[in-house]
Amino acid sequence: MLVDIPKEARDADVSAIAALDEPTRRRLYDYVVRRPSPVSRDEAAAALGLARKTAAFHLDRLADESLLDVVYERRSGRSGPGAGRPAKLYLRSGKQVTFNLPDRRYELAGRLLAQAVEESDATGEPVRKVLHRKAEELGAQLGGEARTDVFGLLERYGFEPRREDDAIVLSNCPFHALARAHTQTVCGMNLHLLRGVLEGTGETGIEACLAPGPGRCCVRLQPSA
Summarised one tens digit per residue, pLDDT across range 103-159 is 778 888 999 999 999 999 999 999 999 999 999 999 999 999 888 889 989 988 889
Q: Where exactly are the structural domains of the chain?
A: 7-92, 106-223
Indicate whether 86 pLDDT > 90.
no
Give the torsion sign (CA, 95, 153, 197, 212). Answer: negative
CATH, range 106-223: 3.30.1380
Mean pLDDT of 37-51: 94
Report if pTM > 0.75. no
Judge contact between 182 and 124, C-beta under 8 A: no
Task: Compute CA 223 distance to the chain's CA centroid, rounded to the nearest angstrom.
Answer: 32
- The per-type count for the chain, helices as H runs and strands as E runs, is 9, 7
Mean pLDDT of 8-19: 71
225 vs 179, more confident? 179
* pLDDT confidence of residue 85: 75
Q: Which CATH architecture has domain 7-92?
A: Orthogonal Bundle (1.10)
